[in-house]
Amino acid sequence: MPRYTSVFKDESKLDINYVPQHLLHRKLQLNLLNQFFRFAVESPGKMTQRALIMGHIGAGKTVLSQHFGLNITREAKQRNINLNYIHINCRECKGNLFMILQRTIMKFIPNFPRRGYSAEELLQALMQILDEKDAYLILTLDELESLVQNEGSDPLYNLSRIQEDRINTPKRLSLICILRQPGHLEKLDPSTRSTLQRNIIQLREYSESQLEDILDNRVNLAFRDGTVPHQTMNLIAELGKSESGNARYAIELLWRAGKYADASEMREVLPECVRNAVVSVYPVVRRDMIPEFSLHEKLFLLGVARHFKQTDSAYMSMGDAEEAYALACEEYGEKQRGHTQIWKYVKALSTSGIIETMVSGVGQRGKTTLISLPRIPASDLEQEMSKLLSQDWR
C-alpha cells in the first residue's frame, strides 16, 4: 500500500505569526500610512507623527502595520537613514508601559539592565539611545486596549509629550496605535485622542471574494498542488465573511481542515474537512492568546467553565464566579486572590473577548456584574484550561 502523503507542503505559512509577502486588498490603507509617515524618509527629525489603525478582529491591522514597517525601513536604509520600526503587542506586555519600553530598548541594546528603572526613566533612556545612535523610531503599540485598560491615558500622553519637551533637538519618536474596540478611544486624554482621530485608518471587513484571494495565496504557499478544491475555499471564505470578514478565522479554518484531511488520510481537503474544523475553531477566541493568561486567570476561567457546564443559564453572577474560582484554587492548591485582584482578571478576560460582562438590570436586588461565555463551549474551555493548568504544574 502506498504511504500517505500530507496535503501540506509548508504548514508554517499558516502560522499565526507568519507575515505574508503579499498584502492583498489593502493598497489604499498602505498608501495612507506611507503618506502619514512620508517625512520619516524625506525630512527625518523635523516632525513626528501619530496614527491609529482600527478594525475588527482579523481585519488585517497587525499585518498592515508590519508591512508598512518593512517597506519604510527598507526605503530609509537606501537613503542612509537610521529608521527603526518596532512592533510591540501591549497584551503580551500585560498592558504595562514599563515592559513595553523595556522590550523596545532591548531591540537597540539587548543586554540593557532589566531592573532599577521607572517607566519615566526608561522613556528618557530610550530617547537618549536614539540620540546617541542618531536613530529614528516608529513604535507600534498593537492591541492598545490592554495598555489603556491597565494604565489609562498617561502612557500615550507621556510618549507624545516627551517629544514636545525636547526643543531644538531632532524629533525621533513616532507612534502607530492599533485598536480593535473604538470605545477605548474615549478613555484617552483629549489632545492624544484628537491627534489620533485626525490620522485614522479604518479597516473595513473583508468581503467573501477578498477572503478567497487571501486564502488562495496561502493555499499556494502551504499546500501541495491540487489538494484544496475551489469549493473548499469558497466555503471557508463564506464562513470568514459571516464572522465579520475575519481573515484570521478563515486561515485557521484552512489549517484545521488540512489537519483533518491528514488525520483521515484524505488526498484532498474536502468541504467535509471544513465542517469538521468549524466545531473546533472559535472565531473570536485567539488560539495564541489562551496560553498567555496568568495562572489565576486560568483558574478563574476553569471555574467559570465548570459553572456553565452545570447550568442552562446564559449568565452567572460575580459571586458565583468567585465561588467557582475558589473551588478551582482549592483543587490546585493555590491561595485564592482578593476581590480587587479578581476584578482585574475579569476586566482583562473580558477585554480579550473570552468572557463578556454586563451589569444586571431591573428586577435584581442591587446591581451586580453578570458574566457570560458567548463564544466557546464550556466543556471545551474546561478541557483547555485543565490541560494548560496541568502543564503549569509539571
**Chain residues that interact with ligand ATP, rule: CB under 6 A:** 20, 23-26, 55, 57-63, 180, 214, 247-248, 251, 286
Q: Which has the closest alpha carbon to 237: 250, 248, 255?
A: 250
Q: Nearest residue by C-beta to ligand ATP?
A: 60
Residue 55, contacted partner among ligand ATP, Mg ion, none, CB below 5-8 A by kind? ligand ATP
C-beta closer to ligand ATP: residue 25 or 94: 25
Give least dist CB 391 to ligand ATP, A.
Answer: 24
Joined together, the cell numbers standing for residue 260 give 483533518
C-beta closer to ligand ATP: residue 166 or 287: 287
Q: Which has the closest alpha carbon to 31: 201, 213, 210, 197?
A: 201
Give least dist CB 178 to Mg ion, A.
Answer: 6
C-beta closer to ligand ATP: residue 61 or 337: 61
Residue 26, contacted partner among ligand ATP, Mg ion, none, CB below 5-8 A by kind? ligand ATP
C-beta closer to Mg ion: residue 62 or 160: 62
| H or E, element range at 326 | helix 318-331
3 phi and psi angles, rounded to 5 deg: -75, 150
Task: Give the binding range for Mg ion (CB under 5 A) out of 55-63, 99-107, 245-253, 362-370.
Answer: 55-63
Burial degree of 388 (CB within 10 A; 0-12, 13-18, 19+): middle
Joined together, the cell numbers standing for residue 231 give 469549493
C-beta closer to Mg ion: residue 48 or 62: 62
Give least dist CB 247 to ligand ATP, A.
Answer: 3
C-beta closer to Mg ion: residue 62 or 199: 62
Residue ranges of alpha helices (H) inside the chain are 27-36, 39-42, 61-78, 97-108, 119-132, 145-151, 154-164, 190-198, 208-222, 230-242, 247-263, 271-278, 295-309, 318-331, 339-352, 378-393
d(CA 315, CA 231): 39
Give least dist CB 142 to Mg ion, A.
Answer: 6
Give least dist CB 89 to ligand ATP, A.
Answer: 8
62 binds Mg ion (CB under 5 A): yes
Give least dist CB 366 to ligand ATP, A.
Answer: 36
Q: Which has the closest alpha carbon to 289: 57, 11, 9?
A: 57
Q: Nearest residue by C-beta to Mg ion?
A: 62
- Cβ(187)–Cβ(137) under 8 Å? no
Q: Which residues bind Mg ion (CB under 5 A)?
A: 62
